[in-house]
Homo-oligomer: A and B are copies of this chain.
């Protein structure tokens, strides 16, 4: 059910079409929190409209339909966001690979950890620059929140990879 709330959340910031939302997932959410393809988004938008949680507010060229969240949608979104999630599940293939590095030859693991350390530092710097820029532009909070947590996570990943390297060397 997370998809439905991700869509409501994005619509709560600004009205958008399915196409817009697909790009928002791609740019802001997919690397940190959630993802959906257009084939999942369009039907779900129609369901949200049928349930009265969102509504078409504008029709544009090429059949474009802009959706906005309704009052009922905001209530439902709030309820979900404030509802504490017990036993959370995270799916992160990249993290899984990092953990499983420990099952490889020390040489393989060392090589990958070095690459990881370098790559995550670069990502960190890239995001920091993007945040400075976005902040000037007064970008919507969801994007800024995501970018800031993303940047901090990449720095943490960088530091963890360096820790793991040291750990391998000391054995």
Contact = CB atoms under 8 A, between A and B. Distances in A.
A34 B91 contact: yes
B91 A90 contact: yes
Contact of A93 (B89, B99, B144, B160): B89
Given A81-B101, A103-B77, A145-B102, A93 B2 contact: yes
A104 B78 contact: yes
A167 B31 CA distance: 23
Interface of A: 2, 5-6, 9, 12-13, 29-35, 77-78, 80-82, 85, 87-104, 108, 112, 140-142, 144-146, 148-149, 152-153, 155-157, 159-160, 163-164, 167
**Residue of A13, A97, A98 ringed by the most chain B CB atoms within 10 A:** A97
Nearest to A161: B149
| Copies of the chain in the assembly | 2
A2 B145 CA distance: 28
A76 to B, nearest CB: 12
B88 A29 contact: no
Contact of A159 (B145, B152, B160): B152
B31 A90 contact: yes
B103 A9 contact: yes
Contact of A9 (B90, B99, B153): B99
